[in-house]
Amino acid sequence: YIIGKGILDNIRVDIWLILFQNPCAFNETLYTYYLNQLPHIDFTKIDNNDSPIIHTITKAKHYFINEITSSSINPIVFMNKTFQIVSVFLLHRPDIPFKKCLVYYTMMFLLNNIEQDYKAFISLISLCSQSYIMPFIINDINFITRRVEFFETLLKHKVNDVYTRLKAFELTPEFYLIKWFEMMFIKCFSYNNVKRMWDLVLLKGESVLFKIAYAIVYVHKKDILCGTYWEMLLTLQKVN
């Protein structure tokens, strides 16, 4: 059912938490304690001196604006909860640097139920603990290099003409694959398509990431074979 139709929206976060298979011992009382340590942020008054988290949140909101509007979610409340969840996550995991993907992950979780911010927080912890996500967040070069090399080999054997052309222009997977995987294809597709992809990734694992990436390249084969360097780069970086 999940593969065919996707998880029902009203139970998606609960099912995702089960699929993560990574129960978190971080209780709600501790979460509330951390929340109380955070400063109040007025998202109606953002300036250049604000933190990278705040600036990322204000930009990321635009990707989800249709969902925010259709769900009658207050954008200020949405941004504040995103800030709180990401900030508590970074307090909980000081070994992890802030990366923009953390904001987008959090917004994906919050959109399923804006009132369940604690579940969104646990989901963020669980997702970032996955073996195929954490290395991209902490920039594990060896892990990332192996994935890039594998995907390049996949292209060479499956679509050699595309592989040869990309290679000729030195457009190796470093230019697009790393961002696709790190962002879990957020910004590549609409929110509705991304959440269905996440259903499959969490159910089947890392192999689905490669299948989606290969499908993107295959679907855009003509654009790659006929495009200029900049057209190819734009196609791979601005998938829709």
- The reported pLDDT for the residue numbered 3 is 54
107: tokens are: 């917004």
| pLDDT above 90 for 84 | yes
Instruction: Answer whether 67's CB lies under 8 Å from 111's CB.
Output: yes
User: In 3D, which of 178, 151, 208, 146 has the Cα closest to residue 19?
Assistant: 208
pLDDT digits (tens, 9 = 90+) for 170-219: 999 999 999 999 999 998 999 989 999 999 999 899 999 999 999 999 99
Q: Give 50's pLDDT tier (boundaries 50, 70, 90).
A: confident
Mean pLDDT, range 154-169, rounded to an integer: 96
* Rg from Cα positions in the chain: 19
pLDDT digits (tens, 9 = 90+) for 14-36: 888 888 875 566 788 999 999 99
- The reported pLDDT for the residue numbered 88 is 95
